[in-house]
Every structure is written in C-alpha cells, then in structure tokens.
Structure 1
Amino acid sequence: MLAARKVGKHYGERSVLSEVSLNVGPGEMVGIIGPNGSGKTTLLRLLSGEERPDTGTVMWEDRPIADWPVRERARRIALLPQEGLPPLDFTVEEVVMMGRHPHQGWWPWITERDRALVEEILADTDLLSHRWRPVAVLSGGERQRVAIAQAMAQQPRLLLLDEPTTYLDVRHQLSMLDRIVRWKRKDGLSVVIVLHDLNLAAQFCDRLLLLKNGRVIREGTPEQVIQASVIRDAYGIDPVMVRHPSAGVPQVLLQSEEKGFVTTSCGQPLSVSAP
C-alpha cells in the first residue's frame, strides 16, 4: 500500500535522510523511533506527500504520491503533525467537522452522515463535554485529542502520527493508542507513528524502524529492534531490558547516573533495591 524506496532528503548541504526504505501494508502499525535529529519527522512528511524526496520515491497504491491531487490524497491520508493544533477560536465540534471537508463536494454542505460520524467520534474521544468550547481555551493535551478526532473524521486509509502522545497524560496515551489499534483492526487502517517512548512502541506497533543520523540501523518486530545492544548503539545509553508481564514484549529501563533507581523509557522513576 505505502512504499518508500531509498528516499533521501537534504536541506542545503546537510543530509537529513539517506536511502531509507519502508513498506506498510493494510492494517499494519509501524513505529518510527530514534534519537533527536535522526530524521523521523522529515520521513513522515515525505510519506505524507507534503515534501518531496531529493532521491528515491514514495509510492501510494502503486502510484507516486506526488502524482495524487491534493484533495484525493486528503481522502486517503491523514497527517497529525508534531505541533498539533494551534489555539483556534473555532469550537471543538467545528474543528472535528473540518476533517469531513475532503469528502464533501465543491459546496461543503454538512450532511446527516457527517453529523452522525462526528457525533460518534466526539463520544469515542471523550470530547462531548467540550464540543462547544473554543479550541483556544483547551489544554495542550485536550487540543491533541481534538486533532486526533479531526483525523478520525477524515476517515483515511493511512494515518501518519508524529509523536501524538507528547501532551497526553498516561491515561489518555493508552486510551488514544488503544483506539487507534481498534480502528486499524476494524477498517484495515495503515498507521505510521513516530514515538519517543520505546515501551509504548514495543507494545503497540507491529514493526519498528529505528533511525540514526538519517539512516535505518534496524528494522523488524519489537523483539528484533528493542534489544540492549541496538538501543545502546542508537542512543548511547546502557539500558536494562525486561519483559512486559502481560504483553510479553521487551521493555526498556534506563539506568540513572545516581545509584539506587532506574527509570522507564519516558523518564519515570522506578524503585529498585540498592546493591
């Protein structure tokens, strides 16, 4: 469905990506991980068609993504950028309804089907109580949920997410990722998601692509990528590896320079016995 073939990107004399390849099939969730500056956001923008690669190609349904008209592409692909939504004066319901625009005709009349879908999405994202509030008065986490709801209203076949959990508390991180998993299973949605939290990436993604300095240094299942030697090479840290007690996937604990505790990959301290 989506295929990036040896894509590269330069900004001036600086190489951001070099010969990166990736395939994403229907109903598959692929996580892009890697240290800051490794090219994750740039890759996502190339996959969405918002930027063109300097080398290589990005194909969507066996057609160069640059050849798709913008409106047709918007019916199939939704991108949630890292910045999320700005503090708009539109209400939550109005912003979510904007996700229906690619599916409307030249006269953007709101149909009963549009209203029913938006109502369902507002309920599914716990936003019904906020529907009449201006987005400008919402917290960063609430605006992030509105942005996700807007993408859901777009009903894409490919969802591209750039660090969507950044502004969300733990409860809403899990709720949002669970919702995306249900969505992809139900509709065969393909998902590419940039995540900093290695533990969430291991739990929710079918495959992972690990970038460093603009190159792929490991691709595969969480078992194949989330390994001590691989994490050490990519991030320059010495992790402690454990198994998730119920999911069975590898999880990363980070050793502090101070003795007596380690942290999760998102920096939360865990008590351990001192040696």
Structure 2
Amino acid sequence: MDSHFKLEPFDKNAPIILAMIGIWYTNFYNAETQVILPYDQYLRRFPAYVQFLDMKSNGKSNLGRPYNLANFSTGTVTWGEAGTNGQHSFYQLLHQGTRLAPCDFIIPAISHNPIENNRHHKLLVCNFLAQGEALMKGRSVDEVLKDMKDVPPEGVESLQQHKVFEGNRPSNSIVVQMVTPYTLGLLMAMYEHKAFVQSVVWDVDPFAHPSDDLGKTRADKILPFLEDPRKTKIFDQSTNGLIAFIKRKMEPLTWMDYGMLVYEAAYDPPITEIAKKGELFNLAALA
C-alpha cells in the first residue's frame, strides 16, 4: 500500500481517491460524519481504529500558520459497526434520515467460516451489495405502489410515504480477498494515507495532539481536590459542584446504606422520595 500510494497516479490511487471523496462531501455537501461498515465480524473493531485515526489526526481548527483558525470544516466524525448489527439499528438514518452520512462498506470475498457450503457468507455478500444499491437508488413511489398492489386502497396512502427512499446517498464499496494480517495492514495503511492527504489539503498537522496534554494537565490539577476533603472551590461553578458531589459519593457506605440501595432497587420508590435523600441529581453541579 505504501508503494501504491507513492507510485500510482491520482486517478488510480486508492488513498487519494478516498481522501478527495471525503473532502468533497465534508466541505461541499456539509456531511459531518463518515460511517465505516465492515461486513466481517473479525473487523468489528476496525471502525474504532479509523475513528481514532481520523478524529485524532485531523480534528483540529489550527491551520499551518500561527493563530490561523479554519473557517471551514476539518476532520470528520467517524463511527461505525459491523454491518449486520448496523442494519438493525442505525441504517434507518442512513437511508431516510435528514443528515448526509457517507459510508464505507468493507467485505472479504472469502470467509474464515464457510458455513453451509459458504451459503452463510454469500448471504452476507448479498446484504453488502444490497445496502450500497439501496442507498444509491432508493425506492420510488411507483416501485412502492407496485409492491403494494395487494394492499387495500385505504392502507396504501398511509403506508407509501414511509416506504419511499429518495436514494442518492453516497457510499464506497471496498472488497478484500480475505481478512488476514496482510490485508488488515493494507486497510490500515490505506486509511492512514487517506488521513494524511486530507491533512495536507486542510493544512492541519496530523501528528500534533494537543488535546492529550490539555486533558492530562487539568486532571493533574483536579486530583488533589478529590484526595483532600478540605480543598474546594477553585474551579468553575460546574466543576466545583461535580467535585463536591462525587466526593460525597466516595464516602464509604455503611451496611445500612447498602441495605437502602438494595431496598430502592427492589421496591423502586417514587422519584420524590429519592430526591429528598439527594440521590437523584446534583442540580447545583449542572448550573
């Protein structure tokens, strides 16, 4: 993949093509997310890797020159799930939602588990192909009416609006021969080069991670206030309230406290009773 990225012309270069497609939808179609959908359980954590890669590398507003903040979108909110799991949860938004969410479908041609003479994997491939086609083509009113020819007329009008899909939802289909350490490395390198190309176009530094230092520095300052019950009120009102609330909850529970927790879980007392004991929310911490 490194040689491919270095030597292939732009129109045949997979990382560059993916990077430009991503920039096209992010900066010209206002897409705020990208979805990684591997149709293989062995790649179920791959979306988390791409999420880490893209959001940590390009999630920045500081451009190459000092004190120069971007006035355009950089980075992409990246998320995903194994394809068949997603089909029964968030695919609804991908097909009919009001937000544009470009997708990358990934599948191996050969499964490590050829169940029922590989019929199981063939069905998985069918779902992989069908989802990309459905996002692209959608379903027209005429198609819906044709499918509902046996439905009583009074039910057609109320149902057809829910069965129409506008289509024209973008997706990429990526096929590898089989999930192996080598092909996994190819996929990882492809997305890494893609993120680098986007960083060059957006003029951000993909290798700087200032948010790490910020969070660690703030955490180091908070620790003494959790360890010393006498230390309070040095941060903002919200953080002070949360620290005080958490410190109270850190106090060791007595056997009576444990008994009350079990009682509350078993008998589900009214919210008003819990609120009187201060167990519901620390509203001051949210002020």
Instruction: From the two aligned structures, give the one with the greater strand fraction.
Output: 1
TM-score range, shorter chain: under 0.3
Structure whose CA Rg is larger: 2
TM-score between the two structures when normalised by the length of structure 1 = 0.23
TM-score between the two structures when normalised by the length of structure 2 = 0.22
